[in-house]
Structure 1
Amino acid sequence: MSELPQERRLVTAIPGPKSQELQARRVAAVAAGVGSVLPVFAARADGGIIEDVDGNRLIDFGSGIAVTGVGASAEAVVRRASAQLADFTHTCFMVTPYEGYVAVAEALAELTPGDHAKKSALFNSGAEAVENAVKIARAHTKRQAVVVFDHGYHGRTNLTMALTSKNMPYKHGFGPFAPEIYRVPVAYGYRWPTGPENCGPEAAAQAIDQITKQVGAQNVAAIVIEPLLGEGGFIEPAKGFLPALSEFARDNGIVFVADEIQSGFCRTGQWFACEDEGIVPDLITTAKGIAGGLPLAAVTGRAEIMDAAHAGGLGGTYGGNPVACAGALGSIETMKELDLAARARHIETVMKARLGAMQEKYEIIGDVRGRGAMLAIELVKDPSTKEPNPEAAAALAKACHQEGLLVLTCGTYGNVLRFLPPMVIGEELLSEGLDILEQAFTRI
């Protein structure tokens, strides 16, 4: 851990003068298409705190979008990455390999669900992992079609934009998109017409019916789904939905891909979110939380599927960079030593109690959901109509930011506040962050 004091401190307005100076430089030099949630420029970060260039310390309920679950300067990550940095930064694994890549693949084989023989390939980003999972599934099945779901998010490359559900800001104006992508309903309990109790089986039946009639199961290479949907609004598919889809895939020779890029690595209170209903995916994609903030991603899966691509068919110059691999081994070491899955479950207990109390008090909170340290509230204009309230989400986020609490919004309708605190956040900071959120509701 760094020496960063784990306490909120506001010494200027948010953003402060130094951040504003840097923002002016940024506007002149950085493409306008790259957005930022909050234009405060970070100087240091660790635990549950981000310190900006003006000396303000903000409570972090974002973890760099679920990346720094172990903290933004975790001791084991810094130690291992620094040692690797001193030895060499790069050789390219496809030219002369190195042990770190192999060690990460071994760790992923051990940690991911299922006791079958597994192999991995390493990449740079979540989108790359998903794209390569599709390539592997197509090579294995000799089929082309890929099935994805409403509210799903899978990345920003051409193929993964096609897989992603939400138009703005991810897809708008960037087409045409890759073909042979088919979208079917997901089990969104809060908005299911016949109620959450019927949602799982009904949504599964609808999805399977659409796949069978509109695509043909024998044409489907892969079904790709987030076991807990991220950007789409932290939607936890209603119980029974994922097992039904997984069984349908197995019965029809379809590769079942769990996109665990946002939900993986202890974030949901288990190592992987698909473990909640005992799902054993054929392939699992990971990134974000894997390496404590260093760019790394992976596809891990059944050895016979992973070996389907021809030699040279998978790779990339930086894929499995040695420094990132060292960071991943440090991140995994930290998760095991501190039992961060248990810590995430504790965060859920604390936060859901507080968020549930707020829901009883403020009727604009339509739904409280999620698992572990991956929680959200969906905001509505009227609980009876469930009309989305993106204005309230934006106003609440802004109010929190002004008081030194970093929160993120998400959701297909832009009406969801999501909470992704680092699993190592201290009890007092967690509680203080929830106090700030509650005060924001009172003001708004």
Structure 2
Amino acid sequence: ARAYTGRSKIISFIRSYHGSTYGAITLSGISLDMSRKIGPLLPEIYHMPFPDTYRNPLGGAPEDAGKNCLDYLKYAFENFLPPDEVAAVIIEPIQGDAGIVVPPKDYMQQLFALCKENGILFISEEVQQGMGRTGKWFGIQHFGIEPDIIIMAKALASGMPLSALIGRKEIMESLDAPAHLFTTAGNPVCCAASLATIKVIEEEKLMENAEKLNEIAFERFTSMKKQFPFIGEIRGLGLSIGVDLVKDPITKERNKEAAAKICYCAWKKGLLLSFFSNSVLRIQPPLVITEEEFNKGIDIIGDCMLALQKGLLSDDILKVTKGW
């Protein structure tokens, strides 16, 4: 992006997660422990608020989060961040480790339009949400946007170490060899695994499966919400689902203790379940999961929520279960 535009500044987002290498840590804004003791980090990276419509990061009404965050970016452009010096915006179509935060569609489209207006490249970071997880090949497709660059990894080769950067031809040709050279790049075994992964996703209709199971999850967790007041919000697309647990549905204070106890209880019952953002149960099973297996997992979560409500889960669990 810098080579193509001749600009140096990059915009990322608060509570984003892009990885643990030096540049990725600089782009991330999810944990203080990721940046402590290793600075200074890379220069010219600017973090903007991301529109969380459950907990507006700028303090306004939740439904105004998109407008508030876009207005803040425009304010930055007018006061301290010259838009003609910004090379790219890099964004997760759904903020994963922030707790499966889905931005409003109109916010994403207006952000994209603002980038186009100012000659800023739009990069969709699909490491967690890509490869069919959201019910489409890429999460950004839900917003009707064709980005300039897409970043892929993780499910790209079903767990084999492989990542990819896809961009418009003129952008990709802005770097000359060996500027993008890696000794282990293009590993044939990993590439074969990726081709096999793509074939399975298509032939077994795994994106359709993700959409179907999403409907089941929302129906079941919405029903549970009537029974368990500590369920604050259910959100997500496809098989990228978050169940946000709160101490109070009005204040929306995060309930880390409940999340930790439920995850530990689930593990004891044979279900691997994690939480992040201090309160959000992470429902991101393999895309090959069957409806029967999926429902069994939700049954276990429901049993653990009931045990929590009855006070049957010991506080000792909190000594060994951390989450983040």
TM-score (norm 2): 0.91
Q: Tell me if the contact between 1:364 and 1:380 (Cα under 8 Å) persists in the aligned partners.
A: yes
**What's 1:281 paired with?**
147
Q: CA deviation at 1:395?
A: 1.2
**Identity across matched positions, percent:** 36
Please say if 1:170 is aligned against 2:34. yes
Offset from partner CA, 1:202-261 (integer Å, 9 cap, x none): 322222322442211011011000001111111001231111111111111111100010
Please say if 1:424 is aligned against 2:284. no
TM-score (norm 1): 0.67
Distance 1:391 1:238 in 2: 29
Distance 2:60 2:220 in 1: 28
Distance 1:423 1:316 in 2: 30
**What's 2:233 paired with?**
367
Distance 2:94 2:83 in 1: 24
| 1:189 aligned counterpart, secondary structure | coil
Q: CA deviation at 1:314?
A: 0.3
Over the aligned positions, Cα root-mean-square deviation in angstroms equals: 1.2
**What's 1:201 paired with?**
67
Q: Tell me if the contact between 1:208 and 1:245 (Cα under 8 Å) persists in the aligned partners.
A: no
Q: CA deviation at 1:363?
A: 1.2
| 1:376 aligned counterpart, secondary structure | strand
Q: Tell me if the contact between 1:233 and 1:416 (Cα under 8 Å) persists in the aligned partners.
A: yes
**What's 1:299 paired with?**
165
Q: Which amino acid aligns with 1:417?
A: L
Relative contact order (C-alpha < 8 Å, sep 6+): which is higher?
Answer: 1
Offset from partner CA, 1:123-167 (integer Å, 9 cap, x none): xxxxxxxxxxxxxx0111111111011111111111111111122
**What's 1:254 paired with?**
120
| 1:265 aligned counterpart, secondary structure | coil
Distance 1:169 1:361 in 2: 36
Higher Rg: 1
In structure 2, list runs of 5 or more residues that go unmatched: 309-324
| 1:240 aligned counterpart, secondary structure | helix
Please say if 1:332 is aligned against 2:191. no
Q: Which moved more, 1:384-393 or 1:325-334?
A: 384-393
Distance 1:417 1:428 in 2: 20
Distance 2:225 2:44 in 1: 42
Q: CA deviation at 1:346?
A: 0.6
Q: 1:184 to 1:278 in 2, by over 3 A?
A: same
Please say if 1:319 is aligned against 2:152. no
Runs of 4+ displaced beyond 6 Å = none
Match of 1:245 among 99, 111, 116: 111
Q: Tell me if the contact between 1:151 and 1:233 (Cα under 8 Å) persists in the aligned partners.
A: no
| 2:71 aligned counterpart, secondary structure | helix
Q: Tell me if the contact between 2:60 and 2:68 (Cα under 8 Å) persists in the aligned partners.
A: no
Q: Which amino acid aligns with 2:98?
A: G
Q: Tell me if the contact between 1:340 and 1:424 (Cα under 8 Å) persists in the aligned partners.
A: yes
Q: Tell me if the contact between 1:184 and 1:211 (Cα under 8 Å) persists in the aligned partners.
A: no
